[in-house]
Amino acid sequence: MVSFEKVRLKALELGFDFAGVARAEALDDEARRLEQWLAGGFHGEMSYMENHFDLRTDPRKLLPGTRSVIVLSHNYYAEQNGTSGAKIARYAYGQDYHKVLRKKCKALERWMKEAYGDILFRAFIDSGPVMEREWANRAGLGWNGRNTLNIRPGVGSYFFLTCVLTDLVFEYAYPLRDYCGSCTRCIEACPTEAISPSGYLLDASRCISYLTIELRKEIPQEYSEKMEGWVFGCDICQEVCPWNRFAKPHSEPAFSPSPALLNMTAYDWSQISEKLWDVISRGSPLRRTGRAGMQRNGSFLLKSRAKGEQSDSTRLP
């Protein structure tokens, strides 16, 4: 058995905020819930969620020899959320977090192999069939709240999760209890009713993040007055969460937004040229949606506002 404290301290030195570890095992209960979620069609067009089911629910099949799952969190909270009326989720303000965190993981891998020899080490940064939030819970980082996001007491939920599979054995943490209590603010605040009435279940096909990022077709008209100004992603269920009053701004320069990005209006996005798109989206999570997707999102927001103004005018005496 290896002391996890040394690994934890090295992770903090590299810029991660918290580190925990859990025993690698089959996620039987989560497998049943995932199967029901997929059967309900809550994943929408994200067909990749149906792939590698066995690997997703048992890391030992994903990387044979795995005995532990190390979970690392990295803060991305930023106080500003744009001034242009075209809102972007905070996680996408800066450079692509996959690349930023991968560099930190490479450094951690080098250090661990120097310290412990030729060990197994494979990091997943929201990029493979790994149930990060469940492992974060098991590793003692946080609990999975009613909005389905992992929440840490005294910190909130504005953080990225990284899972590292390894064959090292540690003394393992205990899962955190649920501290949502009777709070239902996230459920009440969601304009598209994507969160189930009792929470803990997300219909991703109704989520604004899905509609503005993952959906490749036109956004359904039923959401025309429910977008709340979002053109990429959504932070509403986090903004209303009482635990996020403890959130503090990150200290990672790579996650800082450019003024040009925050000053883009819905009209700017709807008309963005290829040249400007290349400049603004270079090395950014925005690339996942693509220029055409952002033009669609900007246009949809403009039309929604025009429709809303027209509706308001008909109510005037």
2, pLDDT greater than 80: yes
Predicted confidence (pLDDT) per residue in 24-54, tens digit:
999 999 999 999 999 999 999 999 999 999 9
**Domain ranges across the chain:** 1-308
Instruction: Band the pLDDT of 314: cuts 50, 70, 90.
Output: very low
Predicted confidence (pLDDT) per residue in 127-175, tens digit:
899 999 999 999 999 999 999 999 999 999 999 999 999 999 999 989 9
Residues forming beta bridges with residue 160, ordered by sequence position: 74
Active-site residue among 58, 118, 126, 178? 126
Are 157 and 149 spatial neighbours (Cβ–Cβ below 8 Å)?
yes
Predicted confidence (pLDDT) per residue in 291-301, tens digit:
999 999 999 99
Closest CA to 23 of 152, 101, 134, 159: 134
Mean pLDDT, to the nearest integer, of 233-262?
95
Rounded to 5 degrees, φ, ψ at 162 are -125, 135
Closest CA to 141 of 37, 18, 238: 18
310, pLDDT greater than 70: no
Examine the residue annotation and report whether 58 is marked as an active-site residue of this protein: no
Predicted TM-score of the model (pTM)? 0.94
